[in-house]
Structure 1
């Protein structure tokens, strides 16, 4: 019984020292505020993956030009941010490797730059008779050249009746030797297979939508047609470990927009839109 007061006394001292140490440690070392330090800029397509084109230019070339301009603008205006490119020349980079680069450098933002295009379709232009006198259709290929505007995508579930962009962007997978292993059996030519990518859905959905919304707002303020922010099962975004967006800066199938996206004025305006959106997102993310 004589030892009990002493034991209690020791407990009081231990607890006191623990609380004092914890309080002092908490005061001397504050948690570091969140900072956006690294942005990965991805120029869509490249190398052998470059079939989409307009009258005089290719999507892969426009995307690279804009990506390089954007990276330079970020470095000049956001001195505390490092820019990493997925490509700086006309080379083919597998989709999984693009987001793999971003994950390895622990990027805070991933932005993939693309040009949109309307699908080329076969339509019946008339009929003729074959050697047996039977009536057979005559087909011709057509493509809408009037559709224009900008839209920005984030990883998510997409409607099966709105998969033109998804199938076109994901078709790059077929150029990869082991694409079935790289994308868990995904077949970019099978619309139903798109559901597989939903299982790899980007965990940074809210932040990605916020960034995409800022981008679309900037396009709109410049007088561009706003086609909105959309969620789709895009392979390049599926396994992103950070907020990630794919932005379609215009339709290369529209002669007016093709001219705009190839001009210095147009590219500078697009880059300004993207830079302002990144700055707005950065300010909010770091403040929160």
Structure 2
């Protein structure tokens, strides 16, 4: 009779908690705490585990990014990020995948890195599309890490991506007077990712290699430039330029289902290789 009473009462726990049930809840809570402590202990015992990845779809909302004849950059970026996220979740269900945006809305550049830091992410991947104002024949992929630009082209890409801050409120206070149009301004960004530059370059190289091997894309290589979105992310971070929307052939590829699947699959394969490498290293 007592057993029947408890079973009937369980659905009403939200309304009434009897003394015996309160004791049961305390036991459950204690068990939950013990499990949490056990998980923390297991995490501490495996410091190389890649547990959380931040996926950042560049631009969004009032900021369309660059564009081709038919498609805006923000749309392609979001499609690639969501596909990449699904591939990671499917093959690695224990990894937390966090999006800086999962719909068409504007996110300040500083907030993207802040999301990664708040969630103690192990990897930050920002996906973009490129543009060449001078020629519609330029094409190919390139992956950036934070650093000093070595060519005028690298600087131009960083300037274009960083110009987004001009659409943010109080950007001068937020970015401490940073002027995206000043070549000297990018120098101040170079040292922030110094502790992670080796891992960032390692991952970037895997991405570009995967583009060549798994998506048959022309790779323009791994480059460095001063990107604000990578500025204060306290983990290995890369910014991927998946192709040129100013090239008609590449635009058609990037807006197609096949192209988006190939690009996101290539990034995923690089991610899986990077994950395995760091988790098996001493």
TM interval, short-chain normalised: 0.7 to 0.9
The equivalent position to 1:178 in structure 2, one of 161, 170, 175, is 170
Q: CA contact under 8 A between 1:202 and 1:237: conserved in structure 2? A: no
Report 1:1-288 matches (<5 A): 32-33=45-46, 34-119=48-133, 143-159=134-150, 161-162=152-153, 163-221=155-213, 222-288=215-281
Q: Tell which deviates more after alignment, 155-164 or 49-58.
A: 155-164
Change (3 A) 1:144 1:82: same
Contact 1:52 1:58 in 2 (8 A): yes
The 3 A distance-change label for structure 1 pair 166 and 30 is closer
- State the number of aligned residues: 237
In structure 1, stretches of 5+ residues that fail to align are 1-28, 120-142
Change (3 A) 1:273 1:160: closer
> C-alpha displacement at 1:196, in angstroms?
2.0
Distance 1:210 1:65 in 2: 25
Note if contact 1:113-1:247 (Cα within 8 Å) is conserved in structure 2.
yes
Residue matched to 2:21: none
- Structure holding more helix per residue: 2
The Cα RMSD (Å) is: 1.5
Q: What SS does the corresponding residue of 1:246 show, helix, strand or coil?
A: strand
Residue deviations 1:102-161 (CA, integer Å, cap 9, x gap) = 010011110000000012xxxxxxxxxxxxxxxxxxxxxxx4111000000001111362
For residues 278 and 193 of structure 1, the distance between their equivalents in structure 2, rounded to whole angstroms, comes to: 31
Q: Structure 1: how far apart are the matches of 2:178 and 2:192?
A: 11
TM (norm. structure 1) is 0.79
CA distance in 2, matches of 1:30, 1:197: 32
CA displacement, residues 244-271 of structure 1 (integer Å, 9 cap, x when unaligned): 0000000000010100011111011011
Gapped regions of structure 2 (runs ≥ 5): 1-41
What TM-score does the superposition give when structure 2 sets the normalisation length?
0.81
Tell me how far apart the structure 2 counterparts of residues 156 and 246 of structure 1 sit (CA, whole Å): 12
Name the larger-Rg structure: 1
